Amino acid sequence: MKISETFHSIQGEGHLTGKPMFFIRAQGCSVKCPIREVCDQPESLAFRGGHDMAPATLAEMALAAVGPRGWVSITGGEPLDQPDFDELVAACRKLGLYINVQTSGLRRVNAPWDWCTVSPKAPVSELAIHFAQELKVVYTGQTVDELRDYYEKFSAWNYYLQPCMQDGRANTEETIARVFELNRLGMQWEFSAQWHKYLGVQ
Ligand code: SF4
């Protein structure tokens, strides 16, 4: 499996914020992503580069970091671009670890996850997945109707709007204002910060 990096930290976004996790960041992203220019992880986008690592080795590293029944976050890049993705999930599950998958939602996730985070980079009609524990939209000015489409056609326990960081500035106020507006219209969106950035941890 092509890996950009691994590290042990806390989850900084969404409903699982604060959970200790071992992060496995896949190398490469094939998504035609509208925010590619300002992607948080520019070094993980190219398919060249990264390190070849065996799924079983990654699972052992995760177990050593978080212990039995700890959490692994499989992220990217787009981790579903990796042909070994299912094998990695199976290796982690075999060791009793919980799996958080972070994906754009453009590929089906066939391997059994414990918590799936879909951060869509396309309209809901183009997604291959229509259920996850959380949907996390990076807010770049999507209209109320676009966000209503996600809310009504994608089944999630939690709907988050997250600010987009561009040129060192996050559009936090605009994001909060949009969350309030959506709430007034009867849609229970919530705000998601990227707390790890404010705390200065990875
Ligand atoms: S889909 Fe995710 S990893 Fe790929 S460019 Fe967009 S934000 Fe970055």
Ordered by start, the domain boundaries in the chain are 2-199
The answer to whether residue 46 scores a pLDDT higher than 90 is: yes
The per-residue pLDDT for 199 is 83
Q: Is-cis flag, bond preceding 105, omega within 30? A: no
Token representation of residue 155: 């089944």
The per-residue pLDDT for 148 is 98
Measured CA distances, 8 to 58, 71, 127, 135 (Å):
12, 10, 30, 24
From the CA of 76, give the closest atom in ligand 1: 3
The per-residue pLDDT for 195 is 85
Q: Measured from the CB, is residue 105 less than 6 Å from ligand 1?
A: no
Question: What pLDDT, in 10s, does the model give residues 109-168?
Answer: 999 999 999 999 999 999 999 999 999 999 999 999 999 999 999 999 999 999 998 888
The per-residue pLDDT for 40 is 86
Question: Out of 3.40.50.2300, 3.50.50.60, 3.20.20.70, 3.30.390.30, which CATH number does the structure's domain 2-199 have?
Answer: 3.20.20.70
Q: CB burial class (10 A; 0-12, 13-18, 19+) of residue 169?
A: exposed
Ligand 1 centroid distance, CA of 29 (Å): 6
Q: Measured from the CB, is residue 35 less than 6 Å from ligand 1?
A: yes
* 179 contacts 190 by C-beta, under 8 angstroms: yes
- Across the chain, what does the average pLDDT equal? 95
Q: Flag whether the pTM goes above 0.85.
A: yes
Instruction: Please state the rounded mean pLDDT for residues 186-194.
Output: 95
Q: Measured from the CB, is residue 84 less than 6 Å from ligand 1?
A: no
Ligand 1 centroid distance, CA of 8 (Å): 21
